Structure 1
Amino acid sequence: MEKGVIAVSAMDAFEKLEKVGEGTYGKVYRAREKATGKIVALKKTRLHEDEEGVPPTTLREISILRMLARDPHIVRLMDVKQGLNKEGRTVLYLVFEYMDTDLKKFIRSFRQSGQNIPSPTIKCLMYQLCKGMAFCHGHGVLHRDLKPHNLLMDRKATAKVPDFGFGNGEQILTLWYRAPEVLLGATHYSTAVDIWSVGCIFAELVTKQAIFAGDSELQQLLHIFRLLGTPNESIWPGVSNLKNWHEYPQWKPLSLSIAVPNLEEAGIDLLSQMLQYEPAKRISAKKAMEHPYFDDLPDKSSL
């Protein structure tokens, strides 16, 4: 068994305080480590019923999480414990650092108070998000499900990217933050799918509303086309060969400053580079960190 996967019942070591979420892969609890009193997030992961022990894919995902946890903008995996559920089946408990809130709640609190999120705060959060994604992408890892709800924050407004759809290869990206190539049925994606999501989150931090809020895959595409113009072969070579491509209504592109009116010019430029149709033309997370939008951010090295 991999080093660090300890065959101790997680419930001997932790006291569950409350359930804080439920993903496709299992439940998440706020819990207290009995030995230290430290508050942690405990993610209970069901293993496939037909497998004996811990499957190699799960061990591989754990080792990826461990490697990524070296970056300060990735939520830290502190430990892994194995236990049995009531039916006697193996469950893994992933022990993560506990974060106080998430970006969705943060945005909602400003929306409810009628205030805008201060521009320096947006800049700081965006830089941290780009930095976290640059680290992941530099290690060949795509997140594929970035959204405000799963970008965690602590009380010092440090944003952290959480774990990577653990054991969940089916549902790729939440609709509102889903890249057009995924909506159009592309079978191969690149790191650019995450950059599209980062762009959508950027716009939402400024306006406090989702920039593309579709309630179906078709509606989602139409929202994107209405703002960015209907794509064609000259803008995005190969688009008409994608599986879900149809003849769509023809819209001309509008200025992004119409959709995101309070964003400074450099921010609009960065956003436009994140929301490029052709994935290869989208700015990388590493390049985004060097964009002039971040020039007046004090002491980037400490972020």
Structure 2
Amino acid sequence: MGFFSRNKASAKTEQPAVSKAPSVTPEPPEETPLQKKRISTILDDVQYDDFENDDYEDDLAPEDRDSDESELEEYEEHKHRFLERNMAQSVSQLSTLMGLCGLSNTSTVESLTALANEELARTYSLLSLDLKIRRLSPTMHRGDPLLYKSVIDDDQIHLIEGITKKLNHVLDMHDPNLQQKYLAGNKTLLDRYGRISKVIGRGSYGVIKVIVSGENETEYTKKNGIYAVKELLKRPATDLKHKEARETFIERVTSEFIVSCTLNNKHLVRTLDLMITVPSGKGGKSSCFEDEIKISQVMECTPGGDLFTYCKKIIETKQYFTIDELDCIIKQVAKGLWYMHNHGVAHCDLKLENILIIFDRHNKQSTPDGLRTRMNVKISDFGKANVFRTKWDTKEQLYTSGPLGSEPYMAPEEFLGSKNGFSLMKKDCWALGIITLVLFNMRRSLFHRSGGHSCLLQFLDSESGELDSKSYNSVYLWHSTGHRVMRLRKYKDPVFEEYTKHCMKADYEASSREWTVHTKGTFAPIETIFDLNDSQIDPKFMDLYEQDADFEEGEHAIRKFFVYKLLDVNPSTRVTVDDLLKGDWLGTVESCGS
């Protein structure tokens, strides 16, 4: 149990120990700048999480694994609000990835579902006895050498080469009958997973299909439940780009599949299969025959939806986030990212929409503010993921191709155009900092919204006592870290410009958990992120708010320190996910996913 959960009572009287400096609280004094003030945040008599007690399954085949819901055990300390999601919302992250829109026309849904089921017997797995998924070890123990094995090894090279060869062979045939004969020894989508329950999205690159246990289920789906089938097509030609070439398409599809199926962690969405749908042949040979081929990934489906939709629903219904809940979510995301980084993979598009939720539906608890239960979160969408360290690399390979991902989550170094490249691991750490800042800012905005339902936050001027003329978005504080071409100011977004001038500047020594603060942070939206006025609290949430009020100011200071350090404008001094998880904040948090 962590300091921020189990030891709240003792937190009121115990202060973090200090080394190499007089005893001080973690919050720096008011003077600015501070000249190399060394502040230790080591907490006495606290068990830090080294993941030694994580109950990870052995590396079993998917059909031999229990579902994630059965893994979630009763946890008495905190629970998350249980919100039902309809099927369209449950795979909304796929819609985000592929630019899909929901299908509101019932007849369209029914006709596409019928078409999808007609294709089942023509949809074959590209995996076979000689092309099997070799998943990485699920270990999370820092002392286990398997934790550091690259996601790209000899086994993955064999799988990449085999799938590429098979795809090219099928595409070269130009005859559906020959294609089906060639693939006849492989399992079909119908044989392995059953019939499609519903098509829930459509876009320029394909459709999203859902298979639900109980819908003409096979033995496979009886045990493993719900699946999402993501269809991948070639990117079409646009005014700016040519149509995607076969070689590029195969490389894109294969790369995403290899990364997502090899990673093996409960905080990462599991990919199970890669399948190809051959044409029916009823229309005869076509000049664009190759474009009629469809490739699909089969993945586990997360009934809880994505974190963006979950947070949006919390705001719309004027609900409440506790600090414990947010600490839990952030730690689970950090653990999934830490596992990826240790295996040489950067996600490169980490954001709320790409974090998915599974609720423990078997242990829901009724509370005055609704049903609550445990929550397991998973990172999804590996379409932009990059391997920065293969088996044959001795260190991280830097990325040189410019900005990558979604702009509000991009790190400032991505816009510099350096020929030397930048670290994708540190890019992910910045994105995790944005997620952390957004979640804590969103929690605060719920109270501001209870008064005026405003999308903006304003703060009192320290001298006049009047509202400052500056205002900030109540969720995303800035929308870009990009530089301006005409430099009347350095950055495009004025709020980010302000942040760079007022952020805390400090060095963090992970081994001793000491901070050397050079300049105290004075960026108001972060400095006041945990400051709430009792008058802003809805009376029905007062009990939950009082639980949060048990946290000492020093504990919130540690959170703010790490937010600043994740959002360090200098990537070389930005904190790593490993240091974050070993530190006095997340290192002591008990999460649902543990």
Report the TM-score when normalising by structure 1.
0.78
- In structure 2, the CA distance between the partners of 1:162 and 1:25, relative to structure 1 (3 Å rule), is farther
Shift of 1:214: 2.6
Shift of 1:253: 5.8
Question: Residues of 1 paired with 2:279 and 2:561: CA distance?
Answer: 51
> Which one is further off, 155-164 or 220-229?
220-229
Q: 2:568 aligns with which of 276, 279, 283?
A: 276
Q: Does 1:265 align with 2:557?
A: yes
> Which one is further off, 90-99 or 37-46?
37-46
Name 2:383's counterpart in structure 1: 165
- In structure 2, the CA distance between the partners of 1:166 and 1:204, relative to structure 1 (3 Å rule), is closer
Shift of 1:108: 1.1
Q: 2:278 aligns with which of 84, 105, 125?
A: 84
Name 1:179's counterpart in structure 2: 411
Name 1:97's counterpart in structure 2: 300
Counterpart AA for 2:377: A
Name 1:142's counterpart in structure 2: 346
Asked if the contact 2:266–2:378 (Cα under 8 Å) also holds between the matched residues in 1, the reply is yes
Asked if the contact 1:122–1:205 (Cα under 8 Å) also holds between the matched residues in 2, the reply is yes
Counterpart AA for 1:133: L
Shift of 1:258: 3.6
> Which one is further off, 92-101 or 27-36?
27-36
Name 1:223's counterpart in structure 2: 495
- In structure 2, the CA distance between the partners of 1:84 and 1:16, relative to structure 1 (3 Å rule), is farther
- In structure 2, the CA distance between the partners of 1:143 and 1:53, relative to structure 1 (3 Å rule), is closer
Asked if the contact 1:8–1:81 (Cα under 8 Å) also holds between the matched residues in 2, the reply is no
Q: Deviations over 1:4-49 (max 9, x none)?
A: 5775654674405132576x86543333364236321111112476
Q: Deviations over 1:153-203 (max 9, x none)?
A: 111421111031269999822121111112344462311111111111111
Asked if the contact 1:21–1:28 (Cα under 8 Å) also holds between the matched residues in 2, the reply is yes
Q: Deviations over 1:58-115 (max 9, x none)?
A: 33432221221x1111101122211136875322211111112111012112222333
Name 1:114's counterpart in structure 2: 318
Name 2:330's counterpart in structure 1: 126
Asked if the contact 1:102–1:151 (Cα under 8 Å) also holds between the matched residues in 2, the reply is yes
Q: Does 1:61 align with 2:333?
A: no
Counterpart AA for 2:293: T
Question: Residues of 2 paired with 1:85 and 1:225: CA distance?
Answer: 54
Q: Does 1:285 align with 2:518?
A: no
Name 1:246's counterpart in structure 2: none
Name 2:226's counterpart in structure 1: 39
- In structure 2, the CA distance between the partners of 1:200 and 1:81, relative to structure 1 (3 Å rule), is same
Question: Residues of 1 paired with 2:268 and 2:261: CA distance?
Answer: 10
Higher gyration radius (CA)? 2
Question: Residues of 2 paired with 1:97 and 1:201: CA distance?
Answer: 24
Asked if the contact 1:20–1:30 (Cα under 8 Å) also holds between the matched residues in 2, the reply is no
- In structure 2, the CA distance between the partners of 1:178 and 1:98, relative to structure 1 (3 Å rule), is same
Name 2:265's counterpart in structure 1: 71
What percentage of aligned pairs have identical amino acids? Answer: 19
SS at match of 1:65: helix
> Which one is further off, 275-284 or 109-118?
109-118
Asked if the contact 1:30–1:39 (Cα under 8 Å) also holds between the matched residues in 2, the reply is yes
Name stretches of at least 5 consecutive residues in structure 2 with no aligned partner. 1-125, 133-162, 164-182, 236-243, 281-287, 360-373, 387-400, 443-473, 485-490, 507-520, 532-554
SS at match of 2:196: strand
- In structure 2, the CA distance between the partners of 1:137 and 1:53, relative to structure 1 (3 Å rule), is closer
Q: 1:189 aligns with which of 395, 402, 422?
A: 422
SS at match of 2:340: helix
Shift of 1:260: 2.5
Counterpart AA for 1:150: N
Asked if the contact 1:18–1:31 (Cα under 8 Å) also holds between the matched residues in 2, the reply is no
Name 2:440's counterpart in structure 1: 206
Q: Deviations over 1:183-226 (max 9, x none)?
A: 34446231111111111111111121433343795575433221
- In structure 2, the CA distance between the partners of 1:144 and 1:295, relative to structure 1 (3 Å rule), is closer
Question: Residues of 1 paired with 2:197 and 2:385: CA distance?
Answer: 22
Report the TM-score when normalising by structure 2.
0.42
- In structure 2, the CA distance between the partners of 1:166 and 1:275, relative to structure 1 (3 Å rule), is closer
Asked if the contact 1:230–1:253 (Cα under 8 Å) also holds between the matched residues in 2, the reply is yes
> Which one is further off, 184-193 or 154-163?
184-193
SS at match of 1:261: coil
Shift of 1:228: 2.8
- In structure 2, the CA distance between the partners of 1:181 and 1:132, relative to structure 1 (3 Å rule), is same
- In structure 2, the CA distance between the partners of 1:220 and 1:288, relative to structure 1 (3 Å rule), is farther
Counterpart AA for 1:286: D
Bigger RCO (CA 8 Å, 6+ sep): 2
> Which one is further off, 193-202 or 206-215?
206-215
Name 2:196's counterpart in structure 1: 15
- In structure 2, the CA distance between the partners of 1:137 and 1:39, relative to structure 1 (3 Å rule), is same
Question: Residues of 2 paired with 1:162 and 1:93: CA distance?
Answer: 16
Name 1:254's counterpart in structure 2: 523
Question: Residues of 1 paired with 2:310 and 2:575: CA distance?
Answer: 26
> Which one is further off, 37-46 or 75-84?
37-46
Name 2:541's counterpart in structure 1: none
Question: Residues of 2 paired with 1:53 and 1:184: CA distance?
Answer: 27
Name stretches of at least 5 consecutive residues in structure 1 with no aligned partner. 236-251
SS at match of 1:58: helix
Asked if the contact 1:73–1:160 (Cα under 8 Å) also holds between the matched residues in 2, the reply is yes
- In structure 2, the CA distance between the partners of 1:95 and 1:138, relative to structure 1 (3 Å rule), is same
Shift of 1:131: 0.6
Question: Residues of 1 paired with 2:403 and 2:205: CA distance?
Answer: 11
- In structure 2, the CA distance between the partners of 1:167 and 1:214, relative to structure 1 (3 Å rule), is closer
Shift of 1:55: 2.9
